[in-house]
Amino acid sequence: MKKKLYTATWVTLLVVGLFLISLPWLENSAIKYLTNSEMNGRIAATAKDKNANFDFKKIESVSASSISKAILNGKKQQMIGKIAIPSVKISLPLYYGLNNQELLSGAGTMKADQKLGEGNFAVAGHHMSNGKILFGPLHKVKKNTAIYFTDGKKRYTYRVSFVKTISQYEVHYVTDTYKSPVVTLITCSSGTLNEPNRTLVVATLASVQKLNNQNAKVFN
């Protein structure tokens, strides 16, 4: 009896141990699945949810529980656009607001009234422990790198003006004004829980083109 109990306990511990070891891999795979599923969808002409969150303090850390809810919950905002930074292999859906569920598959706008090609268009995304998904690769972006956005009708090309590390309290970068239209991209400087610093990328508008089959390939 004791031997069977010992064996059962050992097997249980082994299964739990293997699950914990594989958890990061499972989380990363789930996020890739969510992102790819969304990128294959359509951009909504009007997808501004009146209940969208724009309070940075309400953004939750990514967890196995939140990812499971995102996969099982079919109700989600439709994306309002797409963002691509080919040089660091970023290709993500863009959502209105900073709702936790949407941030598990893409990036979100940081202000309610902003428009692509105008003013300071601010966007935020998660930096996971796996630096290859979501906004994880953002710190690798170099000056003059091309950043592309689309709203489904036009393709907006921006060129990186500067990249820097800032404090989580330097929120003025979201509201700063510039002589030319810019995009401001922000993410945590690492995938560590409670990371106090942020990676900031500011890029200036270089051109606007009508979206077509050829120039849309950058978002694939």
Catalytic residue of the set 126, 127, 139, 172: 126
In the DSSP assignment, the letter for residue 127 is B
Ramachandran assignment for 152, one of left (phi > 0), alpha (psi -120 to 50 degrees), beta (any other) = left
Give yes or no: 139 in active site: no
Distance CA 79, CA 43 (A): 5
Give yes or no: 172 in active site: no
CB 71 within 8 A of CB 30: yes
Give the residue among 121, 126, 139 at the shortest CA–CA distance from 81. 121
Distance CA 113, CA 116 (A): 10
What are the φ and ψ backbone dihedral angles of 87, each rounded to 5 degrees?
-60, -25
Reduced to 3 states, what is the DSSP secondary structure of residue 52? coil
In the DSSP assignment, the letter for residue 134 is B
Burial zone of 79 (CB within 10 Å; 0-12 exposed, 13-18 middle, 19+ buried): buried
List active site positions. Answer: 126, 188
